[in-house]
Chains A and B, each alone.
Chain A
Amino acid sequence: MATTAEALRGRAPREEKFRVCPATGLRIHIAAQTLIKANAVVAVIFLAIGGLFGLMVALTRWQAVHLLPAEWFYMILTAHGLDVLLVWIIFFEVAVLYFASTVLLNSRLATPRLAWVAFALMLIGALIVNVTVLEGESSVMFTSYPPMQAAPNFYLGLILFAVGALVACFIFFGTLVIAREEGTYEGSIPLVTFGALTAAIIAVYTLVSGAIILVPTWLWSLGLISHIDPLMYKLVWWGMGHSSQQINVSAHVAIWYLIIAVVLGGKPLSEKVSRGAFLLYIFFLQLAAAHHLLAEPGLSSNWKIFNTSYAMYLAVLGSMIHGLTVPGAVEAAQRRRGYTNGIFEWLRRAPWDNPAFSAMFLSLVMFGFLGGISGVVLGTEQLNLMLHNTLYVPGHFHATVVTGTTLAFMGVTYLVIPLIFQREVMWPQVAKWQPYVFGAGAAGISLFMMGAGTLGVARRHWDITFTDAYLSFDYPATAFLMLGLNGLSAILAAAGGIMYVAVTVASILFGKPATAETFSQGRMIAPCGPQVATTYGSAGTWHLPGTYVLVGVFFGAFVLYYFVNWKYLSELWPLG
């Protein structure tokens, strides 16, 4: 590795430009800063486009509105999945990787020029996919299950995007090597960088899986390969499809820790425990491709049970650990700041009007309660029979990816604007309410889709009244109510999304330059807290009754909901 670093260092010009952050004192590499900005801006643009598509989908599902005709619905739904699940999130994650490896390590970025190549590949790939889908011949959904076939450019665009993202991951790894070689930091990498490293390692596995399946599928669409086995495709494709969501989990957990550190001066309760939890992600999260194969013929129950449970729920264990240590870090920081009365003064007096903090905490709670619990239920071999391919599935992953990842990314944006773009956040009142509006809308989307799914409503379905079908079927009236409420929630979420994009774009273009004064007066972001306790795990700092109550409530809800679903299952027709 040393030789690689030397080679990279040898090639790099010595007169790298840096600036010193007035808030944190960290050295920021200008070339890296420009790349962080570019990736973040493109991410937000695709969030706006994909979010608009999502609103159109929800308004079509609302049977009383039924906005789009069928062809359009399936086309827009395909584009929605690609733009938000893939393009928005991966672009933002690349920005996070560059941030965690340069700013947090005081380091320069390895090969900025190659990083621009990666950026261009991803952007070109994303544009090709969008144009191809909107031409109308590739309405194959995000998953593009064969033998259904899209136009060759659909797969080509995805391959280019994946290659670009893979290059970005390796630039991140290269930067870690350079930072260590050049001694830009002391000791081990910070926890946030460790979380980003977890995300990058999972990303390599993810993107390689994607390449393994998308390259032959592309050749198949060109007529060069005669057959793609649908079951094999699903197995490998979900090595990308599900693992890419595990990149999100690692990235947004890292961002939770980042926001706590910057806003509250909080620190992890135990470096060992938090890093151990990330390590569990690296070892076990990738088994989750099985979540999508539980209702499939041709795979044994032994295989399904071992893989769907991440080898006895060891990755769930990782998330449950973060579920204690993240709120625990908030409570510990708040108690150090003097909010020590009762069980919950620390929570009541938290900076709820700081959008970075409120977005982080809402993301934490909703990811755990809505996304986490529903994910485990959905991924249980037998319970999946009641839920497979119903609207429960999008309900679940909107809870993880929208209320979890997207909300966390929105929160950190309010720190990125002053720290990286060096602008003050405009319209503080709008920014203050934005996480609540978006969070409420996204929670509604998740809950009402899960509700409709529990009633059996199919996902990816244009018309649940079956008007044009030869044989009729009526879903219960409650299902229609659920989809109406889903539509209203989508409008609310769209309002929150517009608030986010408006504040972000306006601040970047027209915001007042952020100076040392901005930070010292705590405008938009609270000053870093006092650096008190110096040792971990001492009984004096480790009194966190509020966190224990929260975790207890979570655990109770989890156990109850889990067994209620087994009760429902036991009422179905006997099968075997």
Chain B
Amino acid sequence: MAIRPPEQRVWWNEPVERGELVWIGIAFLWGLVMFFMMVWWHFTGEQNLSNEAYRISPDDFATRTETMAEAHTVREEGDTGYPVVHPPPGSDVYMLARLWEWWPILELEKGQSYRLHLSSMDWQHGFSLQPENINIQVHPGYELVMQVTPDEAGEFSVVCNEYCGIGHHTMVGKIYVVEPGQGGAAAAAEGG
């Protein structure tokens, strides 16, 4: 019994029954399958989190984000005051997190790749792209750089999913994805 000392004093020499051995073997092999699945996906899969990251001061990151926004702002989002930035395909795009907003709003082209930079100005935040459901932690002092290729057009939201104080539930950002060659100034004209 499990509440008494083992009946056989030399319990470590008892033979192990075949059924148990088979299951241990299956479980061990399954562990290897799951382990190498992660490795394999790095070579063949298209969804991997980038390993490119840098230490950066919040001020530097803000400056770079603002520089991008000044150069490529195409319109304002309604009367919210948020600039909508349409950077050239293939370029470096920035989104910063701070209490309690994602800034600025990005407009990307479908099927084009971008180098997306993420960092926080203050506390930790969670970049949760919805309804796509891609979730990445955003730290102050660290900059994550990753290649993204939006593969469908539409309106996407960035919800903060790392608790960041009392305004946490109001922290929502946006990413628009438009057909190649569209959006930008054209959308501004349409929208009046």
Residue numbers in B under 8 Å from A301 (CB-CB)? 42, 48-49, 51
Interface locus among A236-244, A289-297, A500-508: A289-297
Contact, CB under 8 Å: A382 / B41: yes
Residue B131 lies at the interface, judged by CB distance under 8 Å to chain A: yes
> A296 contacts B139, CB within 8 Å?
yes
Min distance, Cβ B7 to any Cβ of chain A, angstroms: 6
- Residues from chain A with a CB closer than 8 A to the CB of B14 are 270-272, 536-537
Check B76 for interface membership: any CB of A closer than 8 A: no
Contact present for B34 and A572 (CB under 8 Å): no
- A270 is contacted by which of B17, B28, B137 (Cβ under 8 Å)? B17
Q: Is B45 located at the chain interface by the 8 A CB criterion?
A: yes
Beta-carbon contact of B11 and A271 below 8 Å: yes
Is A202's CB within 8 Å of the partner chain B? no
Q: Pick the residue among A191, A192, A273, A471 that contacts B172 (CB under 8 A).
A: A471
User: Does A559 lie within 8 Å of B30, measured CB to CB?
Assistant: yes
Q: Write out, one digit per residue, whether chain A residues 251-279 have a CB within 8 A of any chain B CB (1) or not (0).
A: 00000011011100111111111110000
Known: A572-B134, A575-B148. A536 touches B80 (CB 8 A): no
Question: Which residue on chain A has the smallest CB distance to residue B7?
Answer: A534
For residue A389, give the distance in angstroms from its CB to the closest CB of chain B.
4
Q: Quick check: is A189 within 8 A (CB to CB) of the other chain? A: yes
CB distance from B119 to the nearest CB of A (A): 8
Contact residue among B27, B48, B140 (Cβ-Cβ distance under 8 Å from A230): B140
Q: Which of A308-316, A342-350, A438-446 contacts B (4 or more CB under 8 A)?
A: A308-316
How many A-B residue pairs lie within 8 Å, measured between CB atoms? 309
Query: Which B residues are CB-close (under 8 A) to A542?
Result: 17, 19
Chain A residues whose CB sits within 8 angstroms of the CB of B139 once the complex forms: 230-231, 296-298
The total of chain B residues at the interface (CB under 8 A) is 90
Q: Are B148 and A468 in touch, CB under 8 angstroms?
A: no
Judging by beta carbons under 8 Å apart, are A385 and B31 in contact?
A: no
B38 in contact with A309 (CB, 8 Å): yes
User: Considering only CB atoms, which chain A residue lies closest to B34 in the complex?
Assistant: A313
For residue B9, give the distance in angstroms from its CB to the closest CB of chain A.
5
0 or 1 for each of B49-67: is its CB under 8 Å from A? (1 = yes): 1110100000000000000
Contact B6 A312, beta carbon cutoff 8 Å? no
Given the interface pairs A257-B2, A294-B49, the reply to whether A317 lies near B24 with Cβ below 8 Å is yes
Bound Cα distance from A71 to B142, whole angstroms: 29
Contact B5 A555 (CB under 8 A): no
State the CA gap A492–B27 with chains docked (Å): 35
Is the CB–CB distance between B38 and A458 below 8 Å?
Answer: no
Contact B27 A229 (CB under 8 A): no
Closest to B10 in A: A187
Contact assessment for A385 and B47 in the assembled complex, using a CB-CB cutoff below 8 Å: yes
Given A272-B14, A313-B34, A382-B47, A266–B131 Cβ distance below 8 Å?
no
Q: Are B147 and A576 in contact (CB under 8 A)?
A: yes
The proximity string for B residues 158-192 relative to A, scoring 1 for CB distances below 8 Å and 0 otherwise, is 01111111101111111000000000000000000
A260-B2 Cα distance, complex, nearest whole Å: 8
Residue of A nearest to B32 (CB): A312
Residue pair A573, B150 in contact (C-beta under 8 Å):
yes
Given contacts A462-B169, A469-B170, contact A297 B80 (CB under 8 A): no
Query: In the assembly, what is the distance between CA of A573 and CA of B34, in Å?
Result: 23
A362 to B9, CA, bound (A): 33
Are A298 and B149 touching (Cβ within 8 A)?
A: no
Interface presence of A521 (CB below 8 A): no
Best-surrounded residue of B5, B172, B174 (most CB of chain A within 10 A): B5
Q: How far is the CB of B146 from chain A (nearest CB, A)?
A: 6
| Count class of interface residues, chain A | 35 or more
A476 CA / B130 CA spacing, docked (Å): 10
- Find B51's partner among A260, A300, A464 (CB 8 Å cutoff): A300
Please determine whether A74 and B166 come into contact, CB atoms closer than 8 angstroms.
yes
Contacts A187-B5, A470-B170 known; A297 to B143 CB distance under 8 Å? Answer: yes
> Contact mask B75-98 → A, CB, 8 Å, 1/0?
001001010000000000000000
In Å, the complex CA distance between A312 and B34 comes to: 8
In the complex, chain A residues whose CB is within 8 Å of the CB of B136? 295, 385, 388
Minimum distance in angstroms from A425 CB to a CB of chain B: 20
- B70 within 8 A of partner (CB): no
Q: Which of A455-502 contact B (CB under 8 A)?
A: 455-456, 458-464, 466, 468-473, 475-476
Task: Determine if B73 is an interface residue (Cβ-Cβ < 8 Å).
Answer: no
Q: Does any Cβ of B come within 8 Å of A42's Cβ?
A: no
Bound: A340/B185 CA distance, A? 78
Alpha-carbon distance A16/B165, docked complex (angstroms) = 54
- How far does the alpha carbon of A259 sit from the alpha carbon of B160 in the complex, in Å? 44
Q: Any chain B CB within 8 A of the CB of A420? A: no
Residue A320, interface by CB 8 Å: yes
A510 at interface by CB-CB < 8 Å: no
Q: Considering only CB atoms, which chain A residue lies closest to B105 in the complex?
A: A471
- Say yes or no: is B106 at the interface (Cβ < 8 Å to chain A): no
Interfacial chain B residues near A376, Cβ < 8 Å: 34
Q: How far is the CA of A317 from the CA of B132 in the complex (A)?
A: 33
Tell me which residues across on chain B come within 8 A of A271, comparing CB atoms: 6, 8, 11-12, 14
Q: Which residue of A lies closest to B26 (CB)?
A: A555
- Chain A residues lying within 8 Å of B23, measured Cβ to Cβ, are 320-321, 324, 551
A104 interface residue (CB < 8 Å to B): yes
A562 to B31, CA, bound (A): 12
Is A566 an interface position by the 8 A CB rule?
yes
Q: Whole-angstrom distance between the alpha carbons of A134 and B157 in the complex? A: 34
B2 touching A261, Cβ below 8 Å: yes
Residues in A whose Cβ lies below 8 Å from that of B130: 456, 473, 475
**A185 to chain B: which residues have CB within 8 Å?**
5
Q: Nearest residue in A to B52 (C-beta to C-beta)?
A: A297
Write the chain A residue with the least CB distance to B174.
Answer: A471
User: B169's contact among A186, A275, A461, by CB below 8 Å, is which?
Assistant: A461
Task: Write 12 A-B pairs (CB below 8 A) sorted by A numbering.
Answer: A70-B166, A189-B5, A190-B5, A230-B140, A385-B49, A462-B169, A468-B169, A473-B172, A475-B130, A535-B7, A574-B151, A576-B48
Given A267-B1, A382-B49, A566-B37, 11 new contacts (CB under 8 A): A191-B2, A271-B14, A298-B142, A298-B144, A309-B34, A321-B24, A385-B134, A386-B134, A471-B105, A573-B151, A576-B47
Query: Which B residues lie at the A interface, using CB under 8 A?
Result: 1-9, 11-12, 14-17, 19-20, 23-24, 26-28, 30-32, 34-35, 37-39, 41-42, 45-51, 53, 77, 80, 82, 101, 105, 113, 118, 122-124, 126, 128-144, 146-151, 157, 159-166, 168-174
The 5 closest A-B pairs by CB, nearest first: A313-B31, A458-B161, A297-B144, A473-B157, A257-B2
Interface residues of A (CB under 8 A from B): 24, 70-71, 74, 104, 139, 141, 145, 147-148, 185-192, 229-231, 257-258, 260-262, 265-275, 294-298, 300-301, 305, 309, 312-314, 316-317, 320-321, 324-325, 328-329, 376, 380-382, 384-390, 454-456, 458-464, 466, 468-473, 475-476, 528, 531, 534-537, 539, 542, 544, 548, 551, 555, 558-559, 562, 566, 569-570, 572-576
